Amino acid sequence: MAHASEGRGQEFRLPDLGEGLTEAEIVRWLVEVGDVVAVDQPVVEVETAKAMVEVPCPYGGVVTARFGEEGTELPVGAPLVTVALGTGEDAAAPAAGTEAAASAGGESRAAESTGAASTGGESRIAEPVAASAEAAGSGNVLVGYGTSEAPARRRRVRPDRRAATGAAARTNGRVRVAGPAGGQAEGSVDGPVPVISPLVRRLARQNDLDLRELTGSGPDGLILRADVEYALRASAAQGGRAADHEARTGRAPVTAPTSPASAATPGAPRSGTARTPLKGVRGAVADKLSRSRREIPDATCWVDADATGLMRARTAMNASGGQKISLVALLARICTAALARFPELNATVDTEAREIVRFDDVHLGFAAQTDRGLVVPVVRDAHARDAEGLTAEFARLTEAAHEGRLTPGELTGSTFTLNNYGVFGVDGSTPIINHPEAAMLGVGRIVAKPWVHEGELAVRQVVQLSLTFDHRVCDGGTAGGFLRYVADCVEQPAVLLRTL
């Protein structure tokens, strides 16, 4: 539901928050209707699939409308606030149109880069921003996140041109326009096919997928990333079935097109069943893990190691006074030393350029389980930090993760990930690579076990280490060498000191 007061101003929409995020939930409004806001003043706190973010408004003036109650989930491009530009009487001057904006309620609406907006199932083109409006706004959306200024020119379609363009028909949430030759041209009279972000359009283009053939499941037929990924999976599955059918019968099968809207849906829910929306952090994790499995030819190797020496070294370090050193900090220090010896694993694959990109710096991600789900904070320049510095940074990021205060910058840009799943009481795992990285080191629980030490059977502290790696960046020899070096450092910490 929108809260509005009379007045005309600049509508500010939910910006692209980066990293492919397509929606956010309103957690807390920071302004009320009638408040005077300055340029780049935060107006709302939202929660994305990655972090809590305060969204600054690039316009200064009086807030004349708010869109969405706290707890409402909005797609990127949906209206957030309307600001009467300027201050004083000019800013608060009433004008027609705000009541219409308020009646739109909390409806989710998304705008394309052309400025097109959709309200009540009808398409319209946003008016060009006046010179005074441009002067009042900063052009920023999220300060410090590399946003750019709003486009200076926007195409305006007049009613007479709209009628002359061609007959438009809306079918199942899609808009089709008759082209010059009577065919179907992508887009409507108001712009291209509505998609939630340029990343979705790029994904479709890379896979030769015609967006005009999709039925968007978003508001007003908006095509979401899930719609494109569903179509790609359906196409791949259909291709596999067709090949199998043709191999068995010698004839190509006749199939009907499928889409998210036309796919078979389960009948009435059975008693005792429950459905949980795959969104937010859980949805983001699902998308990233699926992409990793789909794109990365991974392999896993593992080894058991005697961690008694590492545990004794940590005890001795902490007994000397000063800051207590965490176990994960020591494992991180071992990781960075191993990556210095085997830099092939501190890399990613650029599939478009068909190149392996190797990084000089190690930005170490680590898996952290929170009430909101699994997140991967990033320790910047981990290779340049000592054990005490790593301990402090791990503690800071972990606390921020549990409180939901991590910024997008603290959750992106990792080059290698350390996953300590031993905290869950398990011995081993085959971790899925944190796309688009090339490898992940997994560490199981450290537990007392019988172990042959110096020719005699003894009870030692044993840990299982696993390395999942992208087989495109290296062969098994490199991966095995990396893991063996890590195990040697765990068993004999002096090995690490000799190589520093």
Query: Which amino acids are annotated catalytic?
Result: 471, 475
CA within 13 Å, CB half, 182: 0
